Structure 1
Amino acid sequence: MKPRSATADGIDAPNFVDNRRPRPFFKRFGPYLHVYIVLGFGLPALIYLTVMQIMGWRTPSFGIQGALSYIASSSDTVVLYTSPNTKTYFDGIGGKYEVLVVPWRNYFAAHKVDFKEVSDAAQLRKQKEGVLILPSALSLGPDERAEIAAFRLRGGAVLATWATGTRNSRGEWEGWAFMESLGAKATGEIAPDSGINHLIMNGESPVSHTLPAGQRILMSKTSEALLRFKGDMVAGRFMNWARITDDGLRDEGAVLYAEQDPTQGRTAVFAFAESTWESHPQETYALIDDTLKWLQRQPTIVRSAWPNGKQSAQIIAMDTEQGFENAVPFAAMMKSLDYPSTFYILTSVGKAFPDIVSRLSKEFELGFHGDTHTGFKNQTENVQEDRIRNMRADIAPIVPNAKTMTGFRAPTEAYDATTERLLQKNGFRHHTADPNRTEARLPIFAEMPDIEPEDRLVVLPRTQRDDINLYGEKLSSEQIAKVLVDDANLAADTGSLGLLSIHSQNFGPDSALTKAMPSLLVNLKQRKTQLWFASAGQVTDWWRERDRFKLSSKNSSKRLEFNITVTGQQPVKGGSLVIMLPQKGLLPTIGSTKIGLPLPKVSRIDEYRASVVFDSLNPGNYSYQATFTQ
């Protein structure tokens, strides 16, 4: 350092140092000595810790209370444990345990998943971490239970199926304590003749994020009954083909997952045996893929079905035909809640009520319900096209901007591929269809060759029982109210499109439906932060916008890197993503890899998922990374 010289203020300079004499070693570093010491010891330690973490060591962290804790780290190792006690039990009752093990080997082969098969509990001691699969391992001895518990304490995750651990090493009934330790409380089994034999999946769930909301998976009828469990987190439920179940099953789950302690591995439970899906495995394979990623603590990101961080969408529409004047009180009820409903007009009736149609067109979305109340299905192309022209001609004198009416709902839900092709040809944007149109419960694009993506017809499946269904069951207004609420809650809980269609003829002043509607609306209002209340046209427009919002991603060490591409000419507003968290409650920090890119808003959906919402993104490419630090 240069010695200071005297200043204009007369401050004396310090004495000069004789530079000819060598200074002690530690003085050569001056005030930076402590920095070098820290770097000398800390940097190698940091490098060592980072390498060890990448190799799978469990990383210490300080919690919010300042206490030293450990977070179970991820590992791609998958171990299939074929319990010898369970094999002995099945042999003793004339069964074959192989029948329940082989489906897993088939899955590993089909999806090229590396795995280890272990049949000696002592071999589990060699597995520091990873995922342990217990395929319907009914009979477990004390040594097996102890090794599984020790594996979990080391940070290993467990996926158990069916009635694992319910019998001891002698095959005697042991109870459900083992499954309860994994977060699943048994309540019984599904009666084989109940018709409740479909697994209905949640959308954007940590263990089913590649399956669309409301996906229906058939469970084959086998000697291994479907079981009933309760747990904190549910990703799938047993229901019948129509997605209806008994009241007692509504809060139960067929696929459950949990992270009970951050120092231990995660757990997942399937309430069905492997024999129920082996004959048609593809959808179940996707469920297994997602479950293994979550158990391995791999952060995963998916494109959300709905904008602005909403978890579900709800449409309430009226088929306005006979009893046309009943549209007025229905509209008043919707307007009082600021609900953007859709009215599908049967034009041969609507043209007799021009004042009502005109009033509705000023405050709500209007669509077409056909010219007459006769289905389009199996009619010739010429007849169908004439009918489309007729209904437009009926409404044109009443609604000046009739060209904006681009939605259609076929009378009696009767239509065919010709109907949809002609709708697309004549400028229609969406078709509200029957519940059977999709196996899932989300909008779809009608498949048509040689149609540009932006011109495809959006199909909105009706996902809730309508008044025709309910009146056929001769239900009271109280019972109808309960059904309406149950169906709406199912749509919301699974992340689906909720679409309720009602008919004007059943909305009279004293009808059971009219009396039941307030209960539904109160329930929906209570879930407003989660639900997107939308018209059919708004959902249609979003589904097209969402199609322009592309996502790709990859895991890089402890980061999740993702790219967004917005196509087209206009910005996408409210584009949303969902991230499956590698640790319970640990929200990510999102950063851009380029300067100046817009950053999203990150918020908690639940303890296992985060919502990532972009206010607006112009056409172009965007790169981000999500990091997860305590």
Structure 2
Amino acid sequence: MKNRTGWVCGLLLSSALALQGCAADGVPKVQPIEEVHGSTSTKPVNDDIFIPSGVFPSTGEKAQPPVAYDNQLSDAAKASTVGSAGPLMPSVWLYVSLSSQAFLNGTELDSGVNTRVWETFLRKYGFPFKTIIGPEKLENSAPGVLVLPSLVALSEREKQAIMKFRAQGGSVLSTWLTGVRDEHGVWQGFAFMKAGLNVDVVGDTQAEEEEHFMMAYGDSPVLHSLLAGQRIWLERLKGVYPLRLQGQQAAAQIMDWPRLSIGKKVNATLVFGEHRQPTGMLSRSVVMGYPERLWLSADPKAMEAIAHNSLTWLFRQPDARLAAWPHAYSNALSIAVVAPEVIDDFDLAFAERIEEIGVKATYYSLSVKAAKSPSILKKLQEQGHELGYMADYFEGFQGQPADKQANRLKLMKQEFAQAGLVIGDTIGFYAPMEAQDKITEGLLNQQGFTYFVTFMDKTDGRLPVLLPRAPGVDSTSQPLVMLPRTQSGPEDLMIEGDPDEGLKKYLAEFESALAMGGLLFVRFPNQTLLDDEQLDAILGQMKTHAKRLWMAPNGAVARWWLERNRVSVQMDMANGALRLSVTVAGNTPLSLPPSVTVNLPYANDSLKLVPIGPQEATLINMVALDPWRVAVSLGQLAPGTHRWKMQFERAVLINKR
């Protein structure tokens, strides 16, 4: 097997290491780019200055069919493409189009800010790059990564040069509108974006004022440094609206704050893919549906992480990171049954229904009600379901004095104990109506609760969060786990209006959340009012995605997140070869196999891990997540550090003519 890892050494060490490590919330440790000098005028522009009125219907569901663009290379481009071998070291070519500059200068927006943002970013992270101006320089650029920063207007010659670049095996990163107008500013439509970038523009967010949050897909090949479902605010600037895109694979959605704006619209605003060119060469592309102007006002850490992850993927650099969930699941699914009423035989029937698809729920009961049905609760525990605290009576904790909250928590636990109910070592809490405050959370922390459930406003991601233990608590105690509820339960959406429409909204929201790779926390009230047909639809959807879903009660999710916190993953260079290192802290083996996601240099590559030292664990299995990623299970690793050499082998490609 031919070792092809040496070529990444320079860039891996100069730029990728700049993003190593994560803060407590999982956000990459990056610093904002320094001030980008120059005018960033926010003078009003017409909504149709970039995209003419009427191109998109007001619903944003479909775009007008684009005028076909001839994506065949000219004879001159073909002649200069044959035999091109590409560079020995990758480079970034940052293209400046005089046609696009001239058009932007007429919009009262700074025509140079798009280029300056990228120059500042590329210098900061040590990417080798060169800014090139004009089609002649573009035509003579060796393959690498070509950055097209919001090049609204392009000449035919420039479009041909971009296609030639891809035909030679170069990769492209494009932002916002590319080549939708010609060198004279005349509207050309989205045909070039379809033919040259492999993306369909199906709408924008002009008609949806609330939809200005980008939601990241967790563990995506091009967004893996962000949290699953991470919410990123984008400025709403008149005339400059994020695009709705369709491509080979999506990596982020544009939505409203609570992530409910689903409907029939296409929500993807960042897409990527890899396509074989007419020359036989493979070319990758990343298309970001927002311009650099919106980057400047957004969270700089998140925007830089997106740019960095995208570029390294376009450079075909391998990457390895710890996945959020046990091998080889992409999501976790937990069902919470919130029980303000007495739990009875009706709830046992519900438990039997969810058990049919392999789900065990967590039941959160009021202590005053639990004391009236201890036998039913014990039976649920015997069947594998978990029990958690809700409160002493149905009233929120928020705003109550600390002494009253403390007394309520004490009484709650006493009444459970008097009823003979044992929660166990995993102590969970879900406040009535999610009405809790900092005092409540502080008391849970001090009293040694394992986890608590909270509303989505406590985190921008869709993953659990670990909170340090309060001062004075046993120093050996593990962190307190916060489980965010980031989606609506079925009955939350069905209780008002048409139940059938509410169910459709729930099912659509579930699918949207599934794409983001986080915790799908689904709640039901006890004594649910759902009929058999409605419950069949809900559970059938869960069963359909069972291979991707780690179905576990909330206590198990919290325990896994604490166990996962013991694992760290690093990829580096050692003796000229890539090396994967996995460290397990603590003194006991892991109860569930951690999953390491690896980005492959080429689609469908084979990955081989060669142990360094005889003590390493034996590889259990490896699962392809998509053409560009594999999930590696390393089994029940013993505590300590384990290392492997990473070797990649190209898949055998057969050209059918």
TM-score w.r.t. length of structure 2: 0.81
Matching residue of 2:191:
177
User: Residue 363 of structure 2: which of 340, 343, 359 is its match?
Assistant: 343
Verify: 1:247 aligned to 2:263, yes or no. yes
Where in structure 2 are the equivalents of 1:444-455 lying within 5 Å? 444-450=465-471, 452=475, 454-455=477-478
Alpha-carbon shift at residue 604 of structure 1 (Å): 0.6
Distance 1:585 1:559, change over 3 A: farther
Matching residue of 1:466:
489
Verify: 1:168 aligned to 2:182, yes or no. yes
Verify: 1:149 aligned to 2:163, yes or no. yes
Matching residue of 2:457:
436
Verify: 1:621 aligned to 2:641, yes or no. yes
Segments of 5+ residues of structure 1 without an aligned counterpart are 1-45, 57-68
**Secondary structure in structure 2 of the residue aligned to 1:247:** coil
Alpha-carbon shift at residue 106 of structure 1 (Å): 3.5
Matching residue of 1:96:
110
Count of residue correspondences: 566
Kindly indicate whether structure 1 or structure 2 has the higher relative contact order, using CA contacts under 8 Å at least 6 residues apart: 2
The amino acid across from 2:95 in the alignment is Y
The amino acid across from 1:373 in the alignment is F
Deviation per residue, 1:419-475 (Å, 9 max, x gap): 223223323111111121110000001244546475211111012202563245423
Distance of 1:556 and 1:177 partners within structure 2: 46
Distance of 2:477 and 2:642 partners within structure 1: 22
Distance of 1:581 and 1:603 partners within structure 2: 13
User: Residue 382 of structure 2: which of 362, 370, 373 is its match?
Assistant: 362
Name which of structure 1's ranges 176-185 and 321-330 shifts more when overlaid on structure 2: 321-330
Verify: 1:390 aligned to 2:411, yes or no. yes
Name which of structure 1's ranges 197-206 and 453-462 shifts more when overlaid on structure 2: 453-462
Verify: 1:292 aligned to 2:311, yes or no. yes
User: Residue 256 of structure 1: which of 271, 283, 286 is its match?
Assistant: 271
Matching residue of 2:95:
81
Verify: 1:581 aligned to 2:603, yes or no. no
Matching residue of 1:380:
401
**Secondary structure in structure 2 of the residue aligned to 1:366:** strand
Segments of 5+ residues of structure 2 without an aligned counterpart are 12-82, 651-657
Conservation of the 8 A alpha-carbon contact between 1:438 and 1:461: yes
Alpha-carbon shift at residue 112 of structure 1 (Å): 4.6
Distance of 1:518 and 1:358 partners within structure 2: 27
Alpha-carbon shift at residue 72 of structure 1 (Å): 7.2
Distance 1:603 1:88, change over 3 A: same
Verify: 1:267 aligned to 2:285, yes or no. yes
Distance of 1:51 and 1:567 partners within structure 2: 31
Verify: 1:529 aligned to 2:547, yes or no. yes
Alpha-carbon shift at residue 549 of structure 1 (Å): 1.0
Distance of 1:559 and 1:204 partners within structure 2: 24
Distance of 1:324 and 1:515 partners within structure 2: 23
**Secondary structure in structure 2 of the residue aligned to 1:259:** strand
Conservation of the 8 A alpha-carbon contact between 1:74 and 1:296: no
Conservation of the 8 A alpha-carbon contact between 1:75 and 1:296: no
Name which of structure 1's ranges 159-168 and 410-419 shifts more when overlaid on structure 2: 410-419
Matching residue of 1:490:
512
Name which of structure 1's ranges 459-468 and 538-547 shifts more when overlaid on structure 2: 459-468
The amino acid across from 1:104 in the alignment is W
Conservation of the 8 A alpha-carbon contact between 1:309 and 1:613: yes
Alpha-carbon shift at residue 189 of structure 1 (Å): 1.7
The amino acid across from 1:502 in the alignment is F
Conservation of the 8 A alpha-carbon contact between 1:549 and 1:564: yes
Distance of 2:479 and 2:5 partners within structure 1: 50
Matching residue of 1:16:
none
Name which of structure 1's ranges 419-428 and 134-143 shifts more when overlaid on structure 2: 419-428
Distance 1:586 1:72, change over 3 A: farther
The amino acid across from 2:363 in the alignment is F
Distance of 2:548 and 2:248 partners within structure 1: 19
Conservation of the 8 A alpha-carbon contact between 1:196 and 1:239: yes
Distance 1:243 1:447, change over 3 A: farther
Distance of 2:374 and 2:431 partners within structure 1: 22
Aligned-pair identity in percent equals 27
Please report the RMSD computed on the Cα atoms of aligned residues, expressed in angstroms: 2.6
Name which of structure 1's ranges 217-226 and 592-601 shifts more when overlaid on structure 2: 592-601
Conservation of the 8 A alpha-carbon contact between 1:320 and 1:327: no
Distance of 1:592 and 1:405 partners within structure 2: 36
Conservation of the 8 A alpha-carbon contact between 2:493 and 2:506: no
Distance 1:133 1:616, change over 3 A: same
Deviation per residue, 1:252-271 (Å, 9 max, x gap): 42111111027233111011
Alpha-carbon shift at residue 334 of structure 1 (Å): 1.9
Matching residue of 1:409:
430
**Secondary structure in structure 1 of the residue aligned to 2:173:** strand
Distance 1:90 1:402, change over 3 A: closer
Matching residue of 1:218:
233
Distance 1:592 1:393, change over 3 A: same
Rg: which structure is higher?
A: 1
Conservation of the 8 A alpha-carbon contact between 1:212 and 1:441: yes
Conservation of the 8 A alpha-carbon contact between 1:435 and 1:462: yes
**Secondary structure in structure 2 of the residue aligned to 1:552:** strand
**Secondary structure in structure 1 of the residue aligned to 2:229:** coil
Conservation of the 8 A alpha-carbon contact between 1:555 and 1:561: yes
**Secondary structure in structure 2 of the residue aligned to 1:248:** coil
Distance 1:51 1:536, change over 3 A: closer
The amino acid across from 2:274 in the alignment is E
Verify: 1:322 aligned to 2:341, yes or no. yes
Conservation of the 8 A alpha-carbon contact between 1:597 and 1:622: yes
The amino acid across from 2:200 in the alignment is K
Matching residue of 2:566:
548
Verify: 1:424 aligned to 2:442, yes or no. no
User: Residue 243 of structure 2: which of 195, 203, 227 is its match?
Assistant: 227
**Secondary structure in structure 1 of the residue aligned to 2:414:** helix
Distance of 2:407 and 2:431 partners within structure 1: 15
Conservation of the 8 A alpha-carbon contact between 1:299 and 1:555: no
Distance 1:357 1:104, change over 3 A: same
Conservation of the 8 A alpha-carbon contact between 2:262 and 2:509: no
Distance of 1:282 and 1:249 partners within structure 2: 29
Matching residue of 2:525:
503
Conservation of the 8 A alpha-carbon contact between 1:421 and 1:448: no
Conservation of the 8 A alpha-carbon contact between 1:192 and 1:225: no
Distance 1:583 1:142, change over 3 A: same
**Secondary structure in structure 2 of the residue aligned to 1:160:** strand
The amino acid across from 2:193 in the alignment is M
Alpha-carbon shift at residue 538 of structure 1 (Å): 0.8
Distance of 2:524 and 2:510 partners within structure 1: 14
Alpha-carbon shift at residue 219 of structure 1 (Å): 1.3
**Secondary structure in structure 1 of the residue aligned to 2:443:** helix
Distance of 1:629 and 1:72 partners within structure 2: 20
Conservation of the 8 A alpha-carbon contact between 2:567 and 2:585: yes
Name which of structure 1's ranges 157-166 and 349-358 shifts more when overlaid on structure 2: 349-358
User: Residue 480 of structure 2: which of 457, 462, 468 is its match?
Assistant: 457
Conservation of the 8 A alpha-carbon contact between 1:432 and 1:459: yes
Deviation per residue, 1:48-97 (Å, 9 max, x gap): x99999999xxxxxxxxxxxx99978844112111101011222444432
Alpha-carbon shift at residue 481 of structure 1 (Å): 2.7
Distance of 1:199 and 1:74 partners within structure 2: 36
Distance 1:54 1:548, change over 3 A: closer
